Amino acid sequence: MGNLQVVHPSKSLKKQFQAYVKEYRNHEVKGEERYESYDLSLTDFPAYLRKLAKAKEGISVYGNVPVASFWFTDSNNQIVGGSRLRVRTNKMLNKSIGHVGYNVSPGRRGLGYGSEILNLTVSEASKLGLRYVLLIVTKDNLKSIRIIEKNSGILVDEIYSEFRKKKAFRYVIKT
């Protein structure tokens, strides 16, 4: 690992992003949030990019909280994963999804990319002035728990995530 590049969503990566989304469609369970949120990118990529740009300005489902989206490319300029960084939280986010959400292409899982993507996202949070990031992970997501702990995640507490409808852990990582 160590060779991923942080890139901002752009029309120049349309083909790569759509290939990434199609891989999700072939591997993930329909109804998962990632699957549904990526649908627009396949039918109207410019509209999808506009949606991400509006979210970055704070026009999103999170109550005027700006959300920066990042894609991560390998040495072949293929998208390996993505992350969303909410630049602040509110009461709902503190108990549901936190600052950071990240994912790795199904075909690239188990190769260390999740840890690298989280580490790079934490670096982006630092550049934006955040002193720490809050991550919320369901108790049954053992792979993500390992990734968070590998990135110096400190367990804060256990909660019931209304968003996930199950018990979850809250972690913080200092930037």
Q: Where are the domains of the chain?
A: 5-128
- pLDDT for 20 beyond 60: yes
For the chain, count helices (H), then strands (E): 6, 7
Is the whole model's pTM more than 0.85, yes or no?
yes
Q: How confident is the model at residue 32 (pLDDT cuts 50, 70, 90)?
A: low
CA atoms within 13 A on the CB side of 75: 3
Q: Which CATH class is domain 5-128?
A: alpha beta
Tens of pLDDT, residue by residue over 85-111, are 999 888 888 888 899 999 999 889 999
